[in-house]
């Protein structure tokens, strides 16, 4: 016999709500703590697997939201409550949400959740929306609990038996969910035809955009790998100048330097394009006359980092053009600084401006 079948038809929903609220007020801090624990486990697991996500959020259900849900009637029989024991049956008292950038990451995080938690229930909202003929956008929801290997530890033991909800969706899926929740259209039958057409078109566009972003990411990685192979094989005329390709080129040409950052390579790649370089064959020709180590010691008195040594060679090869086309060309102190570098090279007998496109 179910809990609901034991409840008389004259059920007092208000008393039921008050009793549930009283229980939740006592247990609320525990669920707040549990939500943060779930978030921390997710965050650590994502870092360990090097999965980059847009955000991880956590929250405990507010007292107001819990009270409203605790008093919900049973859909099949409105004279009875949907939750006979709200504190046990409402499964999103503690909740976390992982928002990914790409669809591919959904699969990786899905596997992560299965490995880190005991998954009591997994629901793909896209399947439900399709079956119920409702507008909406897909996401995956989980009801999880901590595994015994955690609850046996003192710091996790008080969460034994507690359940939490985890929502998993992409940035675009999240945007749709938030907008849909705000507009509050649920059933296709209740929406004016004009709005229905626009909703349907938007849902399709967002799904296409999600897939296209994934395709762009895949193509970007493919091109990066291709550029690195071309650099390694010496096919420099085939390699477009990007920050990633520049790193591959300089690591091979000047030796790797772990102090350099991705933004540093991007900045220098942008400078090279401003100077008119379009591929690494041109760059190879430009810096060929110069010894990066000797040049660095002439200008600075000692050996500098990888990017500085490379930029010194480009400065020598392009001469005054380097200064005039640089983003900081209108900055007085910077012009004087670079002009002093050119003077040191000239005084050291180093040829300036040898590269002609």
pLDDT along the chain (357 residues), means of 10: 48 90 92 96 96 95 91 88 90 95 93 96 70 59 96 95 95 82 59 75 83 90 90 90 94 92 94 94 95 95 95 95 94 95 95 86
166 and 283 assigned to the same domain: no
153 and 258 assigned to the same domain: no
Burial of 8 (0-12, 13-18, 19+ CB in 10 A): exposed
| DSSP classification of residue 168 | E
Q: What local confidence, expressed as pLDDT, does residue 189 receive?
A: 59
250 and 146 assigned to the same domain: no
Phi, psi at residue 51, to the nearest 5°? -100, 115
Is 0.75 surpassed by the pTM of this model? no
Q: Write out the residue range of the structural domain in which residue 280 sits.
A: 234-347
Instruction: Answer whether residue 142 is part of any domain.
Output: yes
Instruction: Answer whether residue 354 is part of any domain.
Output: no
**For residues 20-29, b (16+ Cβ closer than 10 Å) or e, as one string?**
bbebbeeebe
Q: What is the pLDDT of residues 224-236, one digit of tens each?
A: 999 999 999 999 9
Tell the residue number behind the tokens 């955009």, with chain if given: 209
**Is residue 45 within 8 Å of 110, Cβ to Cβ?**
no
Long-range contacts of 77-84 (CB under 8 A, 24+ apart): 77/4, 79/9, 79/10, 79/11, 80/4, 80/7, 80/9, 80/11, 81/4, 81/7, 81/11, 81/13, 81/16, 83/20, 84/2, 84/3, 84/4, 84/6, 84/7
Q: Which of 147, 171, 195 is the last residue of a domain?
A: 171
Which CATH number goes with the domain that contains 155?
3.30.460.10
Q: What local confidence, expressed as pLDDT, does residue 339 receive?
A: 95
Q: What local confidence, expressed as pLDDT, does residue 306 receive?
A: 95
**Does residue 112 sit in helix, strand or coil?**
helix
Short-list 67, 88, 101, CA closest to 210 = 101
239 and 166 assigned to the same domain: no
Rounded CA-CA distance 331/316 in Å is 20
15 and 162 assigned to the same domain: yes
12 and 106 assigned to the same domain: yes
Q: What local confidence, expressed as pLDDT, does residue 176 receive?
A: 80
**Does residue 105 sit in helix, strand or coil?**
helix
Query: Treating both helix axes as pointing N-terminal to C-terminal, what angle do 292-300 and 332-347 enclose, rounded to 10 degrees?
Result: 120
Rounded CA-CA distance 343/216 in Å is 46
Q: Is the dihedral of CA 166, 167, 171, 175 positive or negative?
A: negative
Rounded CA-CA distance 146/160 in Å is 7
Instruction: Answer whether residue 201 is part of any domain.
Output: no
**For residues 180-212, b (16+ Cβ closer than 10 Å) or e, as one string?**
beeeebeeeeebeeeeeeebeeebeebbeebee
The count of structural domains within the chain is 2
29 and 145 assigned to the same domain: yes
Phi, psi at residue 234, to the nearest 5°? 80, 15
Instruction: Answer whether residue 216 is part of any domain.
Output: no
């Amino acid at each position: 016999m179910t809990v609901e079948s034991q409840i008389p038809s004259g059920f007092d929903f208000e008393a039921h709500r008050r009793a549930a609220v009283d229980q939740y007020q006592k247990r609320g801090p525990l669920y707040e703590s549990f939500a943060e624990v779930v978030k921390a486990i997710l965050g650590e697991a994502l870092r360990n697997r090097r999965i980059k996500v847009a955000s991880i959020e956590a929250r405990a259900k507010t007292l107001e939201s819990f009270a409203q849900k605790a008093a919900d009637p049973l859909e099949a029989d409105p004279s009875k409550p949907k939750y006979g024991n709200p504190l046990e049956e409402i499964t999103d008292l503690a909740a976390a949400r992982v928002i990914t950038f790409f669809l591919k990451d959904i699969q990786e995080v899905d596997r992560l959740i299965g490995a880190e938690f005991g998954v009591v229930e997994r629901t793909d909202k896209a399947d439900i929306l399709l079956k119920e003929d409702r507008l909406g956008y897909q996401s995956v929801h989980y009801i999880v609990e901590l595994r015994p290997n955690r609850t046996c530890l003192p710091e996790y033991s008080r969460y034994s038996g507690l359940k939490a909800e985890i929502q998993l969706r992409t940035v675009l899926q999240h945007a749709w969910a938030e907008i849909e929740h705000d507009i509050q259209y649920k059933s296709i039958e209740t929406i004016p035809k004009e709005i229905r057409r626009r909703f349907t078109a938007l849902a399709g566009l967002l799904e296409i955009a999600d897939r296209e972003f994934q395709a762009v990411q895949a193509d970007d990685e493919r091109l990066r790998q291709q550029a690195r192979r071309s650099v390694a094989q010496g096919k420099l005329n085939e390699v477009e100048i990007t920050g990633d390709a520049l790193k591959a080129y300089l690591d091979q040409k000047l030796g790797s330097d772990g102090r350099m950052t991705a933004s540093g390579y991007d900045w220098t790649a942008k400078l090279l394009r401003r100077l008119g370089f379009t591929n690494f064959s041109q760059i190879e020709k430009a810096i060929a006359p110069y010894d990066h180590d000797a040049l660095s010691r002439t200008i600075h008195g000692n050996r500098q980092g990888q990017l500085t040594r490379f930029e010194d060679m480009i400065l020598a090869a392009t001469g005054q053009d380097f200064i005039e086309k640089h983003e900081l060309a209108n900055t007085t102190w910077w012009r004087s600084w670079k002009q002093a570098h050119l003077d040191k090279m000239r005084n050291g007998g180093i040829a300036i401006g040898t590269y002609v496109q």
